[in-house]
Amino acid sequence: MDKKGLSTRISVRASGYNPVVVCLSGGVDSALVASAAHDVLGNRVMAVTVHSELIADRDFTRAVEIAEHIGIEHHPLLVRALDDEFVCQNTEDRCYHCKKGIFRLMALEYGDACVILDGTNADDDPSRPGLCAVREFGVYSPLLDAGLGKSEVRTLACAAGLPNWDTPSESCLATRILAGMPLSKLGLSQVQDMETFFHLQGVQTLRASHDNLMATVTYLPEAADIMVKSSDKFAALIERIGLRSYRIKEWTG
């Protein structure tokens, strides 16, 4: 399967729908879908990026840059995720309720004549709660339909010249908070502050989490030197954002 073949699948599925809406997260999967859709549908397709308390600023910014690179019409979609009590409870099915709210809002915004595309690929676990909402709302996943896994997606994205083809996979900020611990604007912003700190030091792949008292930052071995050199400044950040202590550990797989 090449990008042209992906575009053909999208064209067939989108026949009769206007507009065609691509959920553009800023990751490589949705970027490839947006690019392939734009190739074949032109002005009939638009990219939509969720802007909510659960989305890191850097991810939204990357989505804007990707849309500009592709040349696709791009709209932000303001979602107040924390207004949903089921999302705030942060139970194991949080992602289902979050996705459900997003797709419902998209349907209201763009009407019954639209079709929604997302970046679900063949390697994604079909039991993930969020994918239940994808199926429930009839969202079309062209990468999954074409049997394309992550490595194949990156290969096609690289060939297409997409600048984020090798960007590490990301997930929303809520995944950094322990399941069952209620979500809050403060808790999510603390996660973003910690991760942004290390991104600015040059560490592109890491995960920060906390339990309202202790922060934990997990990093890859190649970032060890930067993590050590940054420890004093990070300790000052921890105090400033209202956490009591922290630990930094190497990711062991």
Q: Could you tell me the CATH number of the domain that includes residue 27?
A: 3.40.50.620
- CB-based burial label for 163 (10 Å; 0-12, 13-18, 19+): middle
Domain assignment present for 102? yes
The CATH number for 189's domain is 3.30.70
Rounded-to-integer distance, Cα 242 and Cα 237, Å:
9
Rounded-to-integer distance, Cα 229 and Cα 209, Å:
20
So what's the pLDDT on residue 253?
Answer: 58
Domain assignment present for 165? no
Same domain, 44 and 101: yes
Domain assignment present for 175? no
Same domain, 84 and 209: no
Rounded-to-integer distance, Cα 229 and Cα 233, Å:
9
Domain assignment present for 166? no
Distances (CA, A) of 194 to 135, 139, 184, 248: 34, 34, 16, 11
Q: Which residues contact 237 (CB under 8 A, 6 or more apart)?
A: 193, 194, 197
The number of domains in the chain is 2
Same domain, 84 and 17: yes
Domain assignment present for 167? no
The CA-to-CA distance between both ends of the chain, in Å, stands at 31
Same domain, 224 and 119: no
Same domain, 196 and 141: no
So what's the pLDDT on residue 183?
Answer: 97
Residue ranges in 28-136 assigned as alpha helix (H) = 28-41, 57-70, 85-88, 94-110, 129-136
Closest by alpha carbon to 218, among 188, 198, 190, 244? Answer: 198
Same domain, 21 and 136: yes
Domain carrying residue 75: 3-159
Same domain, 133 and 66: yes
Same domain, 71 and 190: no
Rounded-to-integer distance, Cα 189 and Cα 220, Å:
23
pLDDT by 10s per residue, the chain, length 253: 899 999 999 999 999 999 999 999 999 999 999 999 999 999 999 999 999 999 999 999 999 999 999 999 999 999 999 999 999 999 999 999 999 999 999 999 999 889 999 999 999 999 999 999 999 999 999 999 999 999 999 999 999 999 999 988 889 999 999 989 999 999 999 999 999 999 999 998 999 999 999 999 999 999 999 999 999 999 999 999 999 999 999 987 5
Same domain, 152 and 224: no
Predicted TM-score (pTM) of this structure:
0.94
Same domain, 135 and 194: no
Domain assignment present for 177? no
Rounded-to-integer distance, Cα 217 and Cα 196, Å:
12
Same domain, 132 and 79: yes
- Give me the phi and psi of 99, to 5 degrees please: -60, -40
So what's the pLDDT on residue 204?
Answer: 87
Domain assignment present for 169? no
